Structure 1
Amino acid sequence: MITLALAGKPNCGKSTFFRAATMAHAEIANYPFTTIDANFGVAYIRTACPCRGLDLQCGNCTDGVRFVPVNLIDVAGLVPEAHKGRGLGNQFLDNLRQADAIIHIVDASGATDSEGNPVDIGSHNPLGDIEFLGFEMTMWIYGILDKHWAKLQRQAQSKTYSLYNGVSDVLTGLGISPEEVRDAEVSAGIELSHAGEQELIMFCREIMKISKPMVPVANKADQAPPAMLEKLVAGGAIPASAAGELALRNAAAANLIRYLPGDPVFSVANEGALTPPQKAGLAKISEYMAKFKGTGVQQAINYTVHTLLDMIVVYPVEDEHKFSDSRGRVLPDAFLMKKGSTPRDLAFQVHTDIGERFLYAVDARTKMRIKDTYELREGDIVRIVSAAK
């Protein structure tokens, strides 16, 4: 399963975002290092379920909306010089090994300094926070590589040893392939075999972008000075109100409102049960959602999976006529696959034995066989035929 990490300085709203996305418990407080140990939970990407277009009831969606699970980690806050072990830096950076991508939570209100301490709204520039996370991660990777660099260069003098393979082995915890090492070398515009300190740092910055793609989220956007928020959004940040999303999910769980994560609006289900402060709070959230077409929490998760990681949702079935598995369950599974994946890749995703004994695949909608080289598309429903029992 895909794993996403929530990263950022202390007190920027990571734990609130985590609770809003997972509805799992995580302590929230207005001081640095509320999160000491990483919190682990399950969030979901939102997609349209194919059952509606097929005039079926699958029982696995809500009003035609399908939620596909992904792992979510809320790690300890990062402070400057974390790569040197300051704060909880080593623990933070080590937790990120597990992540396929990073959602960088930024305090868009500018109400916390670089250490995560509360300050007046707008007195800290959050644009610097975005740059600092990339720098800390780059220097962390550089620290790992630098320890082995002299040995790698000596070994590379042998014709039987590839420097690309050596760097890949050293960075194995990041899941870096030799091909990606070569790509990072090209992107950095350096010759790795003759790299000095600055060239290596440039190389590590490119490796970081490849191995841990990152999207900044301008949290507390409802409190942000407009000019500051405009700059963050222009720089690619997704505006969000994690506190607003958490309030909506709690209200929906209490049957006070009707709301699905990612909806651009909500409706009140039981106005008589709402207190005046609750009505006022919901009115503010509604005003924010009207401006940004949602709270931004679900949008950030979907963007990370679909755009940053280039993933699509595919539905394997065993009976292409009923769109079901062997027990008659309609569209029981939804798999996240890398864009460009083939039916054989899907077979391996279902089970190794099925992949190894793959015979052919059938498009459940057309009932026609599809080629092994066919590139799966978002929402495809596929029957895998395999010799595996």
Structure 2
Amino acid sequence: DASGSTDIEGTPCEAGSHDPLDDVNFLQDEVTMWMYSILERNWPRLIRKVMSEHLNFAKVIADQLSGTGVQVEDVIEAERIMNDEYDKWEKEDILKFLSRLLELSKPIIIVANKTDAPTAEENIRRLKEKYPLVIPASAQSELALVNAAKAGLINYNSGDDHFEIIADDKLSTKQKEALEYIDEHVLKKYGSTGIQEALNTAVYELLDQIAVYPVEDEHKYSDHKGNVLPDALLIPRGSTPRDMAYCIHTDIGDGFTHAIDARRNMRIASDQELKQGDIISIISNK
């Protein structure tokens, strides 16, 4: 809540009375302490093993934190800010290391909601000064615009920087004022409501995913029921048709024989890297 009108417990409070930076700090501290609790109970034993058996510190720590999704590369990078006298690390040293590891392995997007509130602008500026990825947003504005579009009152697609009124005679004075407010205080000021931008940034940048479209009929871009582009799969960038087959179903992956690029109407190699927006027909003998 960039307006500062929701406290740390999630309870509404006077706008501007709560500092949203406290919310971010609280979350980061909680996750860091969670990771610390995983390491702390075995830390002496792990470090003795690393030191006595000359094991790779990064691999040992990554294995211990495997359930959190931490990679060896993240540990290696986080370790750069520390000394290698692991047996002399105190709690503060471990927390410093884990804080850096969290930044690398779990990058966050701060979606600064309620940007239209007068108290939000200064808080957004402060958030951007401290954190690398802050997206101003107004969920209430997005909901209002989407509902108005569904009702046939405006033309609007999520992520747009504007909307077009197409049924002026059906809008009440209150609705017109609300749309004018959104246009002036959200769209013109920040370029969008921020909701679609936040989703796109999370999926395509931080998670490094691409969207591909599996079809059964490569000519009609449809499934066996005739539904055109019935599904979209989010898969890691660098995935191949065989990887995609396994994402659909294990049996389809096990029985994978080849794939067809529907846009080009041609067979593609099983190890070819897929691209954003590819429409693919998977051929499987299962």
Q: What band does the TM-score fall into relative to the shorter chain?
A: 0.7 to 0.9
Q: Determine the structure 1 residue equivalent to 2:204.
A: 306
Give the match's secondary structure for 2:272: coil
1:341 pairs with 2:239? yes
| Range 340-349 or range 262-271, more displaced | 262-271
Counterpart mapping for 1:276-355 below 5 A: 276-287=173-184, 288-355=186-253
Give the match's secondary structure for 1:223: coil
Q: Could you tell me how far 1:375 is from its partner in structure 2?
A: 1.8
Q: Could you tell me how far 1:143 is from its partner in structure 2?
A: 2.5
Q: Could you tell me how far 1:130 is from its partner in structure 2?
A: 3.3
Rounded to whole Å, the distance in 1 between the matches of 2:28 and 2:104 is 12
Label 1:325 to 1:134 Cα distance change in 2 as closer, same or farther (>3 A). Answer: same
Give the match's secondary structure for 1:222: coil
Point out the structure with the larger strand share. Answer: 1
Letter in 1 for 2:135: I
Match of 1:145 among 27, 30, 39: 39
1:230 pairs with 2:128? no
Structure 1 spans left out of the alignment, 5+ residues:
1-106
Rounded to whole Å, the distance in 1 between the matches of 2:243 and 2:55 is 31
Q: Determine the structure 1 residue equivalent to 2:274.
A: 376
Letter in 1 for 2:172: T
Give the match's secondary structure for 1:349: helix
Label 1:192 to 1:113 Cα distance change in 2 as closer, same or farther (>3 A). Answer: farther
Label 1:150 to 1:186 Cα distance change in 2 as closer, same or farther (>3 A). Answer: closer
Give the match's secondary structure for 1:354: helix
Q: Give the structure-2-normalised TM-score.
A: 0.81
Counterpart mapping for 1:79-228 below 5 A: 107-112=1-6, 121-122=15-16, 124-156=18-50, 159=53, 167-168=61-62, 170-177=64-71, 179-180=72-73, 182-191=75-84, 193-194=86-87, 195-225=89-119, 226-228=121-123
Kept in 2, the 8 Å contact 1:180–1:207? The answer is: no
Q: Could you tell me how far 1:382 is from its partner in structure 2?
A: 1.8
Letter in 2 for 1:206: R
Give the match's secondary structure for 2:259: strand
Point out the structure with the larger helix share. Answer: 2
Rounded to whole Å, the distance in 1 between the matches of 2:59 and 2:173 is 64
Kept in 2, the 8 Å contact 1:187–1:206? The answer is: no
Q: Could you tell me how far 1:252 is from its partner in structure 2?
A: 3.5
Rounded to whole Å, the distance in 1 between the matches of 2:94 and 2:54 is 23
Letter in 1 for 2:84: E
Q: Could you tell me how far 1:334 is from its partner in structure 2?
A: 1.0
| Equivalent residues, number | 281
Q: Give the structure-1-normalised TM-score.
A: 0.62
Kept in 1, the 8 Å contact 2:61–2:75? The answer is: no
Letter in 1 for 2:124: L
Give the match's secondary structure for 2:273: coil
Deviations 1:109-168 (A, max 9, x none): 344555666666545554454344323321232123212212333455675987656544
Q: Determine the structure 2 residue equivalent to 1:12.
A: none
Give the match's secondary structure for 2:111: strand
Q: Could you tell me how far 1:283 is from its partner in structure 2?
A: 0.8
Match of 2:154 among 251, 257, 263: 257
Q: Determine the structure 1 residue equivalent to 2:138.
A: 241
Determine what percentage of the aligned residue pairs are the same residue: 44
Q: Could you tell me how far 1:299 is from its partner in structure 2?
A: 1.3
Give 1 or 2 for the bigger CA radius of gyration.
2
Rounded to whole Å, the distance in 1 between the matches of 2:112 and 2:74 is 31
| Range 118-127 or range 314-323, more displaced | 118-127
Give the match's secondary structure for 2:218: coil
Rounded to whole Å, the distance in 2 between the matches of 1:112 and 1:322 is 50
Kept in 1, the 8 Å contact 2:153–2:168? The answer is: yes
Rounded to whole Å, the distance in 1 between the matches of 2:10 and 2:219 is 56
* CA-atom RMSD in angstroms: 3.1
